[in-house]
């Protein structure tokens, strides 16, 4: 199974925010640290916020913080919020009531849709065995996620993580 890049970035954002809880992180500082466009970063942060994983505060003195304790943030729950669907086969894709059924003569009677549905549930359950706290504790590069200063326009380059550190 393959997760979308947005989900990967969501995990990175959560790690970055968790490791820098004593700093004032902004959308701009996170976007620069992870080399994302501000717009793309904002979309991911909005989904994480709507899912309760991040708290955002606008304006002066605002920023980002975790919406839950790291031990309460389960990786499968994050994936469920971030993924548009887990429709690895056409018949698992979510639809509105007025949309046509999949263009498959076996729709509704094919065992493959049930197998894939069970596989997705097991995949999410497997991810849910791990929390953000587990990821942080077991990661060998967590000190590299610490930002010595939140970037301003002038010093943003000094805190941008290298590709190996961001992965």
Q: What is the pLDDT of residues 28-78, one digit of tens each?
A: 999 999 999 999 999 999 999 999 999 998 877 778 999 999 999 999 999
Question: What's the predicted TM-score (pTM) here?
Answer: 0.76
Cα distances (angstroms) measured from residue 135 to each of 12, 17, 33, 37, 127 = 11, 13, 19, 25, 11
Name the nearest CA neighbour of 147 among 40, 64, 72: 64
How far apart (Å, rounded) are the C-alpha atoms in residues 93 and 122? 17
Is the CB of residue 7 less than 8 Å from the CB of residue 83? yes
For residue 72, the model assigns a pLDDT of 98
146 vs 156: which has the higher pLDDT: 146
Min mean pLDDT across 4-8, 81-85, 127-131, 162-166 is at 162-166
Kindly report the CA angle at 135 between 149 and 2, in degrees rounded to 5? Answer: 105
Retrieve residue 3's tokens: 């997760």
What are the tens digits of pLDDT across the range 104-136? 666 667 787 778 888 888 999 999 999 999 999
Is the CB of residue 79 less than 8 Å from the CB of residue 11? no
């Amino acid at each position: 199974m393959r997760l979308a890049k947005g989900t990967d970035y969501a995990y990175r954002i959560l790690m970055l925010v968790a490791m820098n809880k004593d700093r004032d992180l902004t959308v701009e500082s996170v976007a620069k640290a992870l080399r994302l466009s501000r717009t793309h970063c904002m979309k991911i942060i909005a989904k994480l916020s709507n899912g309760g994983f991040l708290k955002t505060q606008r304006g002066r003195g605002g920023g980002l913080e975790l919406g839950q304790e790291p031990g309460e943030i389960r990786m499968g729950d994050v994936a469920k919020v971030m993924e548009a669907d887990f429709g690895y086969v056409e018949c698992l894709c979510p639809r509105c009531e007025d949309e046509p059924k999949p263009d498959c003569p076996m729709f509704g009677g094919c065992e493959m849709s049930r197998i894939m549905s069970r596989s997705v549930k097991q995949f999410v359950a497997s991810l849910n065995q791990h929390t953000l706290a587990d990821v942080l504790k077991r990661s060998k590069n967590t000190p590299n996620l610490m930002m010595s200063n939140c970037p301003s326009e002038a010093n943003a380059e000094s805190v941008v993580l290298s590709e190996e550190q961001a992965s």
